[in-house]
Structures are given as structure tokens and as C-alpha cells.
Chains A and B, each alone.
Chain A
Amino acid sequence: MDWLARLDEQIERAPGFFHKRPVVLDLSVTQLNEPGIRALLSELQARDIRIIGMEGADPSVQNLDVPGWPPMLNGGRAASGIEVPDEPPPAPPEPEEPACLLISEPIRSGQSIVFPKGDVTIVGSVGSGAEVMAGGSIHIYGALRGRAIAGMLGNPNARIFCRRMDAELLAIDGLYRTAEDMDPALRGRPVQAWLDRDSIVMAPLD
């Protein structure tokens, strides 16, 4: 039945709408006979809708002596204060996975931290021979002696920050720079690196 399908849609949008509410069925717009009403009632029951009465039904089906048959009511009026929501209510904000990863231990040689979803913050040092790869930026509150690869999935706005620059390799958005090509004056200093057009720029933070 088309109407039932639309009812289901409604329930889907507002699952609590009929919850524990007494409902009076207005049958004046239908031409249902007894089996039709019976079918409708069972359909509604299946949806956990409590029918406490009916209105506007054909006189032939009024007050039948059938167990569970809802009594007829007259002069009922639409309950006020209940608005059928048209739009689904804004879904409760899903607990989104945080797009940053915090590590408060040193990253040892041979370890690899890969976090494509977002930023990586490390409270500690990144050892020589270790690597940190992030979809976003990389923040290192310690010495960076290994590799830092920011914007690994293609993000030219990613940056690399460290408290002490001693990196073996820096890469942002696929462009890289090895230790050999870094300004020796930056060694051991707090440094940030970002992408300017097609080259990695490094500058002291202090």
C-alpha cells in the first residue's frame, strides 16, 4: 500500500514520533470495509502504533464485537502541538575519528609512523632511520633526525615543524629534500618547512 510506504518513510525520519502515543485513526478519507480495516490495523500494530480509537468509518464497521477492535469516536480533533517534521532532524554529530595523531614517545630507528588521515604530533624525538608519514602536517616537539613526509596523499599545504632540525629527509606533497641539500645553518635549530610553488622552503622558527 502506497500510504503505508509513506508512513514507513515518516517513521524512518522520526523514529520516536509514534512512540507510546495513543493514536486515533481517521478513516473518513478511506472506503475500507471490515477486512480492509483489519489488515490496516495489523499493519499499524506491526509498526508499534497504538490505535485507541477510530473515527469517520463506515457505520457498518462501527463497534463490531471483535476483540481488540478500537471503539468509534466522534468529534475528535487533530491534536495540536505535534508537528510532523518534514526534514529529518539533524543527525547527532557522529563521534568523528580525530584527524590527528598524538605520540608522546620517541620514535626509534626503524619505526615507521604512517597516518594518512591528518596531522601527526610527536612529543619526543624522531631517531635517525625512523620515519613519520602524515596526510597533513607533522609537528615534532623534539629533534627530527629521521625522515618526515607530510601531505603524503597530496596536500601542498602541509607543513613540517620541529624543535630541532637534523632530518635525513623532508618531503611535502611528493617533493623531497635530503639532508645534503639543506642549509647547514638550520641544523640543530627549530625549523619549519613548507611548499612554495615547487620547492621546499625551510626557515627557522625563532
Chain B
Amino acid sequence: MAKILVVTSGKGGVGKTTSTASLGAALAQSGQRVVVVDFDVGLRNLDLVMGAERRVVFDLINVVQGDAKLAQALIRDKRVDTLSLLPASQTRDKDALTEEGVAKVLAELREKFDWIICDSPAGIEKGATLAMYNADAAVVVTNPEVSSVRDSDRIIGLLDSKTKRAEKGERMEKHLLLTRYDTARAARGEMLKTDDVLEILSIPLLGIIPESEEVLRASNIGAPITLSNPASAAGRAYFDAAKRLRGEDIPMTVPVERRGLMGKLFGRRVA
């Protein structure tokens, strides 16, 4: 049975799209059939992060409105053949999405894949609520900053009230993914501590992704970090998170970069 996962946060810029791509790729690399769906209609980015921007012909809106078949719009990844992308439209806006249309597309995707990972737009408006409405589980992406934590709290409240599962009185499975975690700043006490974030949000922790240049570089070259640099700290953190999503019990650590002696000596060069 396919599982619909929504990656959401409320706040923008915390790493939803990067996390969608990385988790999706990590799950696909372990043999699962995965589709990542971009719900950020009008501001699509997932295709860029996945390196598929030059292959987009049809998009989610075309499928919802019946202008294209699902198979025409799905883009299969060239690196991992169990990974597909359903891009968003850049020229339309979120009003072009309808609840029935989205439900129909997701039902069709359920037949073909094990994981349907929906990249939610920022905010709490229609686009975000549509992305989460049909979800079975949610990954709440949060930075260890007060503004991000408060927005995540708001989103968790919406996940518990404005989704199909909530309306049926069922519980929505929620996971916290702490991203852009800076070990150095955390050591200096300049960020919220993991325990504080967990205490405020009180949902289980899926993983801690360290802030790293590698992640930014991966996004820029259009490859999820789990593909471009699987041995990096962030890459390993996403692999662990993906394993936890599949129900494995992995001890929680904050992966750090492995540096050789030369790396340590020259690690602090000016970027």
C-alpha cells in the first residue's frame, strides 16, 4: 500500500524542497518506488533540485485538469530508475488546483508507487492545505530557530485538524526533521537546542540534518545530496531519516563531516 507523505513547514526557506528530493532519492536508492510531487504551483523548484528542469513537458495542473495523462507528466530520474518526479506548473497559480483533481491524481499514483512524497509550498493557504489534505504521514521540516518552530507548531495544528485523516478522527503520523543544524552554533548556544524544539513541538524526531555547503552545492547542480555525495554528513543524515521512515530503529546522531588531516588544516578557508 502506497504511503502519501507531505513535507511541510509553514515557514519558507527551511529546506522542504531539498528534504523532499533527498528523502525521495534515499528511499528510491533502497529500492522503493518513489514519486516526488511538487505542490508549489507558480514557484516550482523541485524540478531544479532534482535536475529535471529541462525535461518538463506536462505538469501537475495539466494532469489535474485532464489536459495530459499522468504517464506523460511523470519524469523518471536518470540516475535512480525507481524515482519519478511530477512537476508543478510555473505559469499557473494555486487556484488551478482542486481538491477532487488532486485526490484523483494521488489515487492514480498510489497504484504505481510505494511512496508519494508531496513537497508543500510555504504558508498555510490553499496550496499548503491541498498538499497535506490526503497525506498519511507528515514530515515537518524545522530549523532550530524560534520563528521556524512557531510556524511548525501552527502547521502541526493544521495537520491535526484540516486533513482527511483528522476529519475521519484518525491520527496523522508526524515526524520532525530538524534541518540546517549548525553544530558549531549549537555548541555556542546560539540556536535552539534539539531538546527544546522537541519539547515545544512534541512530535517524534525523524532526523537532524547538519547545515552544510554540500547541500547547497547539491541543489545547485540539480542532484539530491544522497545521490551527489552520499558519504557527506547531510547525505548520511538523510539516509538515516529515510530508514526511520521505513520503520527501522536507527540511533539518533548528528553526523559530522569526515575530514582528513589536510581538510582539517585547510577546512577554514574563506569561501
One digit per residue, 1 when the CB lies within 8 angstroms of any chain A CB and 0 when it does not, for chain B 148-163 equals 0011011011101000
| Distance, CA A106 to CA B160, complexed state (A) | 11
Q: Residue A108 contacts which of B146, B153, B199 (CB distance < 8 angstroms)? A: B153
Number of A-B contacts (CB under 8 A): 40
A-B residue pairs, 6 tightest by C-beta = A108-B157, A109-B153, A109-B154, A127-B153, A110-B154, A108-B153
- The answer, yes or no, to whether B220 is at the interface (CB within 8 Å) is no
Q: Residue B150 contacts which of A107, A128, A143 (CB distance < 8 angstroms)? A: A128
Task: Report the minimal beta-carbon distance from B189 to chain A, rounded to whole angstroms.
Answer: 16
- The answer, yes or no, to whether B183 is at the interface (CB within 8 Å) is no
Complex A-B: 23 CB contacts under 8 Å? A106-B202, A107-B157, A108-B153, A108-B154, A108-B160, A109-B150, A109-B151, A109-B154, A109-B157, A110-B124, A110-B153, A110-B154, A125-B200, A125-B202, A127-B150, A127-B157, A128-B146, A128-B150, A128-B200, A129-B153, A129-B154, A143-B200, A145-B200
Task: Report the minimal beta-carbon distance from B97 to chain A, rounded to whole angstroms.
Answer: 23
Q: Residue B157 contacts which of A110, A124, A125, A145 (CB distance < 8 angstroms)? A: A110
Residues of A contacting B: mostly: loop
Task: Report the minimal beta-carbon distance from A125 to chain B, rounded to whole angstroms.
Answer: 7
Task: Report the minimal beta-carbon distance from B151 to chain A, rounded to whole angstroms.
Answer: 7
Give the nearest-CB partner of B203 in chain A: A106
Give the nearest-CB partner of A142 in chain B: B202
Q: 8 Å CB contacts to A: which residues of B20-34?
A: none
| Distance, CA A130 to CA B201, complexed state (A) | 13
- The answer, yes or no, to whether A121 is at the interface (CB within 8 Å) is no
- The answer, yes or no, to whether A111 is at the interface (CB within 8 Å) is yes
Residues of B contacting A: mostly: helix
- We find that the number of chain A residues with CB closer than 8 angstroms to chain B is 15
Give the nearest-CB partner of B202 in chain A: A106
* Contact, CB under 8 Å: A124 / B151: no
Give the nearest-CB partner of B10 in chain A: A109
Give the nearest-CB partner of A145 in chain B: B200
Residues of the B chain whose Cβ atoms lie less than 8 Å from the Cβ of A145: 200
One digit per residue, 1 when the CB lies within 8 angstroms of any chain B CB and 0 when it does not, for chain A 113-137 equals 0000000000011011110000000
* Contact, CB under 8 Å: A124 / B153: no
Q: 8 Å CB contacts to B: which residues of A85-116?
A: 105-111
| Distance, CA A129 to CA B155, complexed state (A) | 12
* Contact, CB under 8 Å: B200 / A127: yes
Q: 8 Å CB contacts to A: which residues of B120-175?
A: 124, 146, 150-151, 153-154, 156-158, 160
